[in-house]
Structure 1
Amino acid sequence: MRFELVTVPGTAERPNEDWASLALPASGQGGSLAVLDGVTPPRGDDGCVHGVPWFTSRLGGALLELSGSRRDMPLADVLAASIRRTADAHRKSCDLSHVRTPQATVVVVRWDGETVEHLVLSDSTLLLEAPDGIVHAVLDDRLDRIPPEILRSLSATDALRNRDGGFFTAAADPEVAAHAVTGTTPRAEVRAVAALTDGASRWTDLFEEGSWADLMTLLRKEGPHGLVERVRALETADARRGGATRWKTHDDATAVYAELRDPAAAEGPKA
């Protein structure tokens, strides 16, 4: 099996708000991974004394633990329990009702010998590659459906945050877990997975350097570090040209690539 992970801050002046990790059980059967992209709040009060990196590390740690230790729980329930646990850790010190309370996008993948389960919430990306090379992108595109003129207004965006008809992120309300994109794929139909925050997925969805299948091929050949290096070069060149206007020239970029062992091969030779 092959697992690679990279996470790079957008700028040295700000802490990296992404979080990523993976876990393999001692039995060697199955595993899980989680990738979070912390939502950078605009300047001003967000009601929390801790900040986004504290939140993503707490939520990510809970997700990884529960996805592995509570395999009886669907991933939406794992996310709900993780949000509740994280909220309980700071509800006495912080205003969790604040619309900009720390929050994050979420990708979780969990697999065993039979199935590969997934959960995606907000605008991070999950790629599932089949043995024949076909790549399926699992996307929560609700944020993409909101007109750009609305997203340019902080108040208008806040009015749609974690609301029906708007978009959802993991914040303080466990109920948002019910809005995540979830699914299960037979284990034999998945040979590799990739989880990307939007700072890494820009190679395809912003700069259009290739398809999702091309991005998966790039990950296989050059690894997550190679992907992020290419994204950084594209961002720098685009900024010099005065190209696409973005809030941040460089965003925190995180990519996890995992090649899963053939379940039949994992069983070993039969007597």
Structure 2
Amino acid sequence: MNVALASLPAEPGRENEDFAAAAAGAAVLLDGAGVAGAETGCTHGIAWFSSTLGGLLLSSITAHPARPLADCLADSIRVVRSLHEASCDLTYRASPTSTVVAVRIGAGALEYLVLGDSTLLLADQDGKATAITDQRLDEVGKRLRGPVDELPTGSPEHAAALARYRDALTGLRNRPGGFWIAGPDPQAAEHALTGVAPLDSLKSMTLLSDGATRLVDSFDLITWDGMLTILSSSGPDELVRQVREAEASDPVGRRWPRGKTRDDATALHWVL
């Protein structure tokens, strides 16, 4: 395996709620989430949730190569729930959640799973990029976030509008007509996007948290093919550096309205 990984927290010294790891023939990436400014109901926290779920999922998909990825995710969610349901309030609306991207190489094929707004970027042998993203969270968000985007990022008014937006978003989590994400309920795994790609058609794959895809889907500075060029020539460290550079050029979100000036950013680039 030829894997390169870059990951930075939103702020220096702050806990990184992203998690990414690779094992022989498999990789996972999770982007932990909660409700900003709200107690999670979990004494362990969001970073613990994403890293614990990610580690269990990677173990499951490698130990059980014939078991569908969605079933492995459901099993892993059940285990995480059992680890803290006695000490934490998992019925609380702001209980920790996480996006999930998982890939596994089988007999001549790549299996993949995507849940939430993280992205799997596949490159074919000609270098053309195909992005696989669960759009349901973005679609719900676009209906709700207008008042947030009208205000300067980091202002008290923006923070209040963002809290209202996230509260409304939480009410649509893991519900029909809303969006699906890994949390306390293993049934969310049933709603993940899954598929298979012929292995001989692929040159590389990249697992990306939404903090690392901002150059494409939030800032519109490059295309997916352009991102692939950065990854192929300079690696994920350079991609994250360019994300941070763009964020710093617009600290109050006037050019690119967004919930956070900076976000945890993680990219795992796997060359086949």
TM-score (norm 1): 0.90
Query: Is contact 1:103–1:169 with CA below 8 Å preserved after alignment?
Result: yes
Query: Is contact 2:38–2:94 with CA below 8 Å preserved after alignment?
Result: no
Shift of 1:12: 2.2
Unaligned runs of 5+ in 1: 25-30, 261-271
Provide the secondary structure at the position in 2 that maps to 1:7: strand
For residues 197-247 of structure 1, give each alpha carbon's deviation from its aligned partner in whole angstroms, at most 9, with x where no partner exists: 011000111111221111111101010000000000000012278422322
Distance 2:264 2:34 in 1: 10
Report the counterpart of residue 246 of structure 2 in structure 1: 234
Shift of 1:44: 2.4
2:236 alignment partner, one of 224, 227, 235 = 224
Query: Is contact 1:99–1:161 with CA below 8 Å preserved after alignment?
Result: no
Amino acid across the alignment from 2:191: H
For residues 13-44 of structure 1, give each alpha carbon's deviation from its aligned partner in whole angstroms, at most 9, with x where no partner exists: 520000000001xxxxxx00000001142212
Report the counterpart of residue 102 of structure 2 in structure 1: 108
Distance 2:200 2:267 in 1: 23
Report the counterpart of residue 124 of structure 2 in structure 1: 130
Report the counterpart of residue 92 of structure 2 in structure 1: 98
For residues 111-143 of structure 1, give each alpha carbon's deviation from its aligned partner in whole angstroms, at most 9, with x where no partner exists: 134110000001001011111222211110001
Question: How many residues get paired?
Answer: 254
2:181 alignment partner, one of 165, 169, 172 = 169
Q: Which deviates further from its counterpart, 39-48 or 114-123?
A: 39-48
Report the counterpart of residue 264 of structure 1 in structure 2: none
Unaligned runs of 5+ in 2: 146-161
For residues 48-79 of structure 1, give each alpha carbon's deviation from its aligned partner in whole angstroms, at most 9, with x where no partner exists: 11100111111010011011011111000011
Query: Is contact 2:70–2:189 with CA below 8 Å preserved after alignment?
Result: yes
Amino acid across the alignment from 2:10: G
Query: Is contact 2:32–2:46 with CA below 8 Å preserved after alignment?
Result: yes
Change (3 A) 1:211 1:60: same
Matched, 1:69 2:81: no
Shift of 1:190: 1.3
Shift of 1:104: 0.5
Provide the secondary structure at the position in 2 that maps to 1:77: helix
Q: Which deviates further from its counterpart, 96-105 or 241-250?
A: 241-250
Matched, 1:243 2:250: no
Amino acid across the alignment from 2:64: R
Query: Is contact 2:141–2:169 with CA below 8 Å preserved after alignment?
Result: no
Quote the RMSD (CA, aligned, Å). Answer: 1.5
Distance 2:230 2:194 in 1: 26
Which contiguous aligned blocks of 4+ residues in structure 1 show a shift greater than 4 angstroms?
none
Distance 1:117 1:149 in 2: 32
Report the counterpart of residue 16 of structure 1 in structure 2: 16
1:88 alignment partner, one of 79, 82, 94 = 82
Distance 2:253 2:81 in 1: 43
Distance 1:62 1:109 in 2: 14
Provide the secondary structure at the position in 1 that maps to 2:60: helix
Distance 1:39 1:2 in 2: 29
Report the counterpart of residue 191 of structure 1 in structure 2: 203
